[in-house]
Structures are given as C-alpha cells and as structure tokens.
Amino acid sequence: MTDTLAHQINRLNEAAAAADGQIRDRDAAESNCPYLNGEIVDTADFFGNTGVPAGQGWDPLSQEFVDSPWDYVKNGFENEPVFFSKNADGERDYWVVTRYEDVIKVFKDTENYTANTALEKAIPMSEDAKDILDDYGYDFRDTIVNTDQPVHNPRRRALEEPFNVEELRKLEPMVRETVDGYIDKFIDKGEVDIFDELLQISPLTVALKFMGVPAEDMHKIHVYSKAHATATWGRPDKDAVLKNAEDNGKFWQHSQRVLHKLMMQEEHTEAPGWVPHSIRAHRKDPESVPMYYLRSKTMSAVTASHDTTVNSISNMLIYLFTERPDVWNLLKDRPELIPNAVEESLRMNGGSHAWRREAINDVEIRGVKIPKGSRILLVTSMANRDPEVFPDPHTFDLYRDNVTKHLLFGYGMHLCMGRNLARLQMQVLLQQLLKRLPHMELIEQDDYGRAPSVSFRGPSTLKVRWDVTKNPERLGEISEENPEIIYNGPNRALKTRSMKVVETEDVTDKIRRIVLAPSEGAALPATFSGSHIEINAGGLNRQYSIVGAEGNTWEIAVQLEDDSRGGSRWIHENLHEDAIVEVRGPRANFRFDPDATKLILVGAGIGITPMIAMADEAKARGIDYELHYSGSSKTTMSYLERIVRDHGGNANLYVSDEDGRMDISQFADRYEAGTQLLTCGPDRFTNEVLEVTKDWPADTVRRESFTATNLLDPTQNEAFTVELSRSGETFEVPANMTLLETLEEAGKELYAECREGICGTCEVGIVSGEAEHNDQVLTDKEKQANNSIMTCVSRACRGSKLVIDL
C-alpha cells in the first residue's frame, strides 16, 4: 500500500501536537544565509538585485571597492557574475569575474590566460613620468607573480627554499622579539596609532631581516615601497604623479645598490636571507634566475613581503573590534585558536581583493565570450564569500571546515610563496597583543584611510587606547609560553568544536534524535540542507546529516546499528543531556542544485534525515518537491509526525509490512527540465534508484552513500606521477597503492576519515593534469571541472602526471 501522508494526519497524534503548542515554525527562524536555517531568502535578496547592469559606473579604483569589495560587487555577483567594466579615459578596462568556480578556472588555465598583467600599472604612466624613470635607469621587468610557464616553475623552485616551513620556524624568535620591541615603545602611552607604531613597521622590519637587506634606511624604504604599490595598483594623486615617479626611481637605485653590496659580500661568505639565497641561485643557474630578474625582484620583494601582512592584520583588528568583539574576548582565553581566527579573517577581510590576468586566446567564462587580449580582474574577495563554497559566507566562523580553500594568496602555480611568512607574523602579532594589551579598545574612525587599489586593501591609520594601569605586566609576570605557530592553515584538531547535548529523544527503538548547541555559546554558522557533521564517538569519527538547524542548535539522528563497530553504540550510551562532544564541520558534500525547479527526494531507513532537511529548504524557497520515504514498518521509521506536519501533501510513505513496498521503477521516466532527484539510504536501495534513473542527464540524480561502492581493483590501475605544486616534490604512485597512501608514506599529513571515497575529508585541489574520479562525493559537473581529487580512491587518468595543491 502506498499511502499519501496527507491522508494519515488524523491518524498520527495531531491532537497531541496541537495541544502541546510547541510546534516549531520552520518559516520563522532568523538567518543570514540565503539557503537554510529557517527563513530562506532568494540569493537576489541576499546579495541585492538592483536591476542595474553590473558594469555601469563600476570602477576598480573607486573608494567603494577598496572599502567594501563584497558590497560593491554584490550586484554583479548575483545578477551578472562575469561583466565588462568600461572605465574612464586613461584607465584600464576589465572583464570582472566574481564567482569562486570561475576564478579557479582562470587561475588554473595557464594555456588561455597569462599572468603578465599582474604587475601592470593600473593607470598607464605619463610620458613625463616615464622620462623621470629613464633618468634613474629604471629597468623593472618581471617577478614570480607575473611570469608564466616554462619560465615560472624552474625559477620558483630555485628561489623558494627560504619559505619552507622548516626555515620559517627558525625565524619565530626573531619575529616575536621584533613585535615585542615595538610594543615596548608605546605600551605605557595609553593611546597610539597602532598602524604606524606596530602593524606597519613590524612586518617591514621582519621582511628586511628575512630578505637579508640592511635596515638602516627603513623610513626611506617604506616611502619608496608605498610609491611602488601606488604606481602599480593604485591611482597616484594628479599633483603627485611626478613625485611618485621620483620615488620609484629612487627605490630602483636604492635596491640596485643593496643588490650590488650583497653580491660583493657573497663572493667571500654566504649570508642569510632571501636575497643572498637568490644571488647564489643566480650563480648556480643563471638561465632560471637571470640577472635582470634578480634586479627587479630585489626591489619588488620589499613590497610583496610585507604589504599583504600589514593590510590583513589591520583589517582583522578593525573587524574584530567593530563587528566581533566576542571573538577577541574568546581568543584571550583560547589563544590556541588564533590560527583559526587568522585564516577566517584572510578569507573574509584579507589584505588583497583581486588578481589580474589577460586572455591569450578568445575565451568563454560562464557563457560570456571574452576576446583575446582582454584584461581580466579576478575579484577573489567576492569569491571568498561565495555561498556555494563557503556556506553562510558573511559569518565569521572560527571552526569553518574548508577555510583554507580561500583565494587570498592566489591559487595553483602562482600561489604566494610568502603565505606562511604572513601567517607566522599575524599569529605572533595577535599572540603578543592579546597577552600584553588584552584590554585595548579601538577608537572608531569614520575613515581608516584605505587608498584606492585594484588589488590591495588596507588602512593607513588605526587608533587604539587602553588603561595603562591595567597592563597585565604591571599586575604580575606574563607567561612566556605561547601556542604553537600553525602553518598552511588550522589543522583538524583546531577546527573541532566543543558542543553540548541540549536535548535527546528516542524516536524509534533504535534511532535517537540529538540536539547539539555550542558549549562556548558562540553562534553557529548556517548550513546547507544535506550537510553533515562529524562526531568524535569515543575515538571513532562518525558522520551524520543535519536534520534541522534552529536557533543556535544542530539536530542529528543516530541509528544504533546491529553490527556497529562502536560509533553508534558509543553515541547511544554516552550522549545524554549536558554531555560534551567534539564536532567537526558542517560539510556540504550532498546538496541539491540551487537552480532546480523541482526536487524528487527519495529516502530509505535512516537515509530520510538529509531528505527532510532538503524538503524543508524546498518548501521555504517555494520549490516544487516530492518526499518519498521507505521503511520496513512505521515503528522503525523516524520523524513521521514532523513529515506529516511540515510536508503532508508533498510526501509519500511506503511501509513494507503494510504491503506498501516502494516501486522504484516509478522514477525511471520522471525526468523533465529543471528536475533533480536525490536519494539516501542503504546502498542496495540507492543502487537500485541509480539503475532505474541511469538515463537521466548528468548531475540530475545524486545519492549519498553509507559505504564505498567502487573500491579500486589494483589490477586495473596504472602507476602515475604526482607533483606537489608548493614544494615541487614528485612521487610515483604504484598501481597497488592509492594516492593517499603514497603521500602518507612520504610523510605528508592529510586528513582522511572513510578512505572509501564517501566522506570528502581527503579532498585536495588539482593544479594541472586530469584525474580519474572514483569517489561518491563530487558531482558529475565537479568531476568534469577537475578542480579537486579525493586522494583515497581517485587517480591520474591513464597513468598521466597529476599536479596537486600541496
């Protein structure tokens, strides 16, 4: 018997539910996310739908862009993700790219896009300015940032050793001593422009020491570096154009004198620092590191090695003090979470907001045809708030699971070499400020002095004050202990939330409903329907779909498995009210297409849990949907009352012991344009669903699996080579080993939970090469895009070479 749930309402305790008066109104919950958690609003409402062409009046050198790039670009992001910006006479025109998926595509496609415009003057120089530079013998050409293959990689390999984590760890005492030295100068003043006195000068000092460059002329170097940044990415004041050219000429000559001095010293003894290292690399391999490059790099590296750090830490402090003082206060007690705060701030408020490229050929991005020779602006600050990649993107989430996917430092072969030097400095600056000036307060300003720039954003002033009588060092000794500096982003342990069980209910004999809230009281991020969280179940990690997210809680349902290896049994025995549990996520590996116009949601057994969340979202967004639920008997089927209450006429119940077994063949010919079917349940059930819908178009059927469905047969594999893009290391992956096993054997730390291609935890970005995708996580479209690989089950195609983002 197939029984429409609307017909069962009178038979399912409606009176008790009404009398209780506690029925939750899923349409009333507040949310900032356009997709889930209560009130679901259209993305056009979330980002704004002005009806105005995105490129109309849009200026990459406007004050609005540098002050708040996500607000300035939101019309384009939502309504015209790739648009043309025709700018004023004398300025560059750009095709502006705003979505994460498209930005990654351009970064990766080095055959169709060149980086040679990355250091191009945003405002073409006047002839008078060029004459001034000629008088100084100015011959700046290129650096790592704006070179392409085949030049780029050999040069990068020759120069990157000083940036290795092992080398940076040696600098930690120097960085801390530098930061403390500058704090010592003003700690008893009670009020200071901390940008001038610390945030700007400390990273510049560290940069010069890192480079091995004498710091006697630090003030001049700062002036020169600012002039270089303004001339390259900004808009010099009309009455200061020639002065800017003078400063750039002086910067060039100063850097050449420094280089000459260091080259003379290197003939007698090897000195520490990146410039001496580069001199040795030039003498060892002049083809990869030619003299003209050495001359340009010695000048530009001063700016590159500290500007992003200065901007990023300054933006971070402004945001924490004005928007999230609760996070600042939490970090006082939990300084080990500083790496989390740094990484999430780099995503939300990083010191750069766009990268530039040029089309080598006629190209097409998201259906927009772009002619050869066009300049392209990749707005990474907007991509870093793309809700398709970062759910609830405008919420500062200390435990965001995929935070290191942000694009502040670029991507692929042009990933910033100095990224971990920036992380080191930002963490030390925060550690020492929280330790020595935890009571510091921001003096809010109407204008933080952000100068217009096509690529970078940061203030030029940041005033703070504090009560010197409350300085911790006046009240007693300060601990010399410090949390470990974390490189390459927070690890799995740091991204673990502590949550408290606030409610439990046995909805069947074997299924327990569990409601979790953050134990620290911090706000939880909104989640996509279909998202899951990972529970530390007594040392075993188990993943469960979020059934609902109301208020500041997440709800899951855990079925006690007869053949449990301990995870579900531990949860049933230990997660009582007030119990504390470790949680990671949420992870959005299973969700429906936001452009779908009709959803067919098919669940069996405990697999109904993500289907309920999707039905909630579909209802709230006004999407046509059907909910199909199969079970052996009503006594074993969870959430019946909720399904009746919230989805009555849209839901169908199939009860095997009432002769109501689901006829899965009914879905074979149900496809029509805009329809997507999603299914979850035991693999035998979902396999049958996939079989009857095999003729549906790609990505219109998705399933979430409980177990691996395509473990690899080593006899069918081919060996292949994998290269790690960040280090240049290469490894051979034998036919009888997975990529994950090969990397682990080489001492590389990757988090991998299921190791069967179903959880998504071992995902790594692909820089180049084609992968054979064997996982159950990526959609067909995502597999075709070839942007990432699940290292536990997927391999390089036909034994070819694969370059991955490690």
CATH number at residue 509: 2.40.30.10
Mean pLDDT of 467-471: 96
- Out of 587, 607, 640, pick the residue that ends a domain: 587
The CA distance from 382 to 347, in Å, is 10
pLDDT tens across 373-402, in order? 999 999 999 999 999 999 999 999 999 999
What residues contact 727, with CB distance under 8 A and at least 6 apart?
160, 164, 806
Task: Say yes or no to pLDDT of 241 above 80.
Answer: yes
379 near 96, Cβ under 8 Å? yes
Do 398 and 328 share a domain, yes or no? Answer: yes
The CA distance from 699 to 590, in Å, is 12
Task: Say yes or no to pLDDT of 37 above 60.
Answer: no
pLDDT tens across 399-433, in order? 999 999 999 999 988 999 999 999 999 999 999 99
Short-list 461, 464, 472, 463, CA closest to 440: 464
pLDDT for 713: 61
pLDDT for 87: 79
pLDDT for 155: 92
pLDDT for 707: 59
**pLDDT > 90: percent of the chain:** 66
The average confidence (pLDDT) of the chain is 88
495 near 399, Cβ under 8 Å? yes
41 lies in some domain: no
Task: Say yes or no to pLDDT of 649 above 60.
Answer: yes
Do 316 and 186 share a domain, yes or no? Answer: yes
Q: Which two tokens stand for residue 101?
A: 């998926």
Q: In what order do the strands lie in the sheet with 82-85?
A: 82-85, 94-97, 375-378, 355-359, 113-114
Number of neighbours of residue 341 by Cβ within 10 angstroms = 24
The continuous run of DSSP H or E covering 316 comes out as helix 307-322
Task: Say yes or no to pLDDT of 239 above 70.
Answer: yes
Task: Say yes or no to pLDDT of 463 above 50.
Answer: yes
Give the pLDDT band (50/70/90) at residue 559: very high
Do 523 and 571 share a domain, yes or no? Answer: yes
Task: Say yes or no to pLDDT of 48 above 50.
Answer: no
pLDDT for 729: 86
376 near 89, Cβ under 8 Å? no
Task: Say yes or no to pLDDT of 520 above 90.
Answer: no
pLDDT for 217: 80
The CA distance from 362 to 378, in Å, is 17
Output 656 or 565, whichever has higher pLDDT.
Answer: 656
Task: Say yes or no to pLDDT of 165 above 60.
Answer: yes
Mean pLDDT of 503-523: 92
Look at the chain and report how many structural domains it folds into.
4
Which of 27-31, 267-271, 482-486, 611-615 is the least confident region?
A: 27-31
Q: 666 is in which domain, residue-wise?
A: 2-23+590-704
pTM: 0.85
Q: Following DSSP, what letter does each residue of 27-48 receive, concatenated?
A: TT---S-SSSSSS---HHHHH-
Give the pLDDT band (50/70/90) at residue 17: very low
Give the pLDDT band (50/70/90) at residue 576: very high
pLDDT tens across 746-768, in order? 778 776 766 767 677 788 888 88
Q: Which two tokens stand for residue 555?
A: 């709800």
Angle formed by the axes of helices 172-186 and 419-436, nearest 10° = 40
pLDDT tens across 592-642, in order? 998 999 999 999 999 999 999 999 999 999 999 999 999 999 999 999 999
The number of helix segments (H) and strand segments (E) in the chain equals: 27, 29
98 lies in some domain: no
Tell me, what CATH number does 169's domain have?
1.10.630.10
pLDDT for 88: 66
Do 600 and 517 share a domain, yes or no? Answer: no
pLDDT for 51: 54
pLDDT for 753: 63
319 lies in some domain: yes
Mean pLDDT of 685-700: 94
pLDDT for 540: 87
Q: Following DSSP, what letter does each residue of 99-124 receive, concatenated?
A: -HHHHHHHHH-TTTEESTTTTS-SSP
Tell me, what CATH number does 768's domain have?
3.10.20.30
414 lies in some domain: yes
762 near 740, Cβ under 8 Å? yes
pLDDT for 792: 84
pLDDT tens across 116-147, in order? 999 999 999 999 999 999 999 999 988 889 99
Do 420 and 290 share a domain, yes or no? Answer: yes
Q: Which two tokens stand for residue 262?
A: 């260091």
Do 427 and 529 share a domain, yes or no? Answer: no
- Out of 553, 587, 621, pick the residue that ends a domain: 587
44 lies in some domain: no
- Out of 587, 603, 630, pick the residue that ends a domain: 587
pLDDT for 784: 85
Do 461 and 522 share a domain, yes or no? Answer: no
Mean pLDDT of 23-50: 38
Do 358 and 381 share a domain, yes or no? Answer: yes
Query: What single-letter amino acid sits at 347?
Result: R
119 lies in some domain: no
Do 392 and 532 share a domain, yes or no? Answer: no
91 lies in some domain: no
Three-point CA angle 640, 644, 648, nearest 5°: 140
511 lies in some domain: yes
Mean pLDDT of 684-700: 94
pLDDT for 376: 97
Three-point CA angle 789, 414, 254, nearest 5°: 160
Do 280 and 382 share a domain, yes or no? Answer: yes
Do 615 and 526 share a domain, yes or no? Answer: no
Do 402 and 380 share a domain, yes or no? Answer: yes
